[in-house]
């Protein structure tokens, strides 16, 4: 059994797969070992005795519920991270959850809602290893009253070519082993901070919403969005917007009204960094 402390949520993991514990240790072993409450009990197990030996497959469970079909044992570490995301997205009803990266500098938070293939995670990993604080790669956890976003202690999920790129840019960063041929392609997780750094973070006010899209043939292009367009897109990226009802509507409206709103196309992460610092963070 392992305890995985992500700051906002604590997971208790049991597994039949030894190497999963090794990956968890590499990514989370610096978290405090205390007896706090457990939010989610999760497991990675073989569905049958036969599946231990013939084309081994494993399943993720949260208590007695399995949200995914069984997958090859080689993908176990990635399945665990995806399963943890599912637990939060499926059960958090007290705060607004938006499918988005969150980067913070000088106490100011920028959220980056984006579709798969937008380059969001590559951008997050690079900036997180270049002086920014990563509050999340996957979801913004937002207080519906203050609209402040809370930090999660999680690695950044990289896919396919992004893995080699970030390794080239940041050769000293800690990466999990690559899980090959998943439904998202090749997947690896990179640790962008340690627990000591994380423990100093406080909820941050959102100052901008930036919708990024990587385009290899396009130099940095910046579009200012209307509040209506930004509201529609942001609400569609919220995991629990419909569940929260009027509370979710009011929270998204407050974020939109108090934030700078941009869509950017880019092929150079350094240009994006300069834009964010000079035009948003100030």
Q: Which of 67, 91, 115 is the last residue of a domain?
A: 91
Contact between 98 and 239 under an 8 Å Cβ cutoff? The reply is: yes
Angle, CA of 150, 98 and 131, to the nearest 5°:
50
Same-domain status, 52 and 133: no
Q: What is the model's pLDDT at position 36?
A: 83
Q: What is the pLDDT of residue 136?
A: 96
What pLDDT band is residue 48 in, cutting at 50, 70 and 90?
A: low
**Do 203 and 237 belong to one domain?**
yes
What range does the domain containing 76 cover? Answer: 1-91
Q: Which of 38, 62, 91 is the last residue of a domain?
A: 91
pLDDT of residue 282: 84
Within the chain, where are the H helices?
A: 18-28, 76-91, 120-128, 161-169, 195-198, 227-236, 241-244, 246-258, 269-275
Q: Same structural domain for residues 127 and 41?
A: no
Query: Which neighbouring-strand residues pair with 160?
Result: none
Question: Structural domain tally of the chain?
Answer: 2
Q: Tell me the pTM.
A: 0.93
Residue 34 pLDDT more than 90? no
> What's the confidence (pLDDT) of residue 53?
64
Would you say residue 51 has pLDDT above 90?
no
Percentage of the chain modeled with pLDDT above 90: 85
């Amino acid at each position: 059994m392992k305890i995985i402390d992500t700051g906002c949520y604590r997971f208790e993991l049991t597994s039949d797969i030894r190497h999963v514990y090794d990956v968890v240790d590499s990514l989370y072993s610096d978290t405090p070992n205390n007896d706090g409450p457990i939010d989610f009990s999760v497991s990675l197990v073989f569905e049958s005795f036969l599946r231990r030996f013939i084309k081994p497959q494993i399943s993720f469970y949260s208590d007695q519920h399995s949200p995914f079909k069984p997958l090859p044992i080689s993908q176990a570490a990635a399945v665990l991270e995806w399963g943890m995301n599912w637990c939060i997205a499926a059960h958090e009803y007290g705060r607004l959850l938006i499918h988005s990266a969150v980067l913070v500098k000088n106490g100011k938070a920028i959220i980056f809602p984006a579709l798969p293939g937008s380059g969001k995670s590559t951008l997050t990993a690079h900036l997180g290893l270049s002086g920014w604080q990563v509050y999340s790669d996957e979801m913004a956890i937002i207080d519906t009253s203050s609209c402040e976003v809370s930090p999660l202690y999680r690695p950044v999920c990289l896919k396919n070519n992004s893995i080699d790129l970030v390794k080239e840019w940041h050769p000293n960063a800690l990466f999990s082993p690559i899980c090959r041929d998943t439904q998202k392609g090749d997947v690896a997780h990179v640790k962008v901070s340690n627990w000591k750094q994380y423990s100093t973070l406080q909820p941050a006010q959102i100052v901008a919403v930036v919708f990024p899209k990587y385009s290899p043939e396009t130099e940095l292009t910046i579009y200012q969005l209307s509040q209506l367009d930004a509201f529609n897109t942001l609400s569609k990226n919220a995991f629990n917007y419909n569940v929260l009802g009027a509370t979710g509507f009011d929270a998204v409206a407050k974020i939109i009204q108090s934030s700078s709103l941009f869509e950017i196309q880019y092929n150079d992460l350094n240009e994006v960094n300069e834009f964010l610092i000079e035009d948003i963070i100030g």
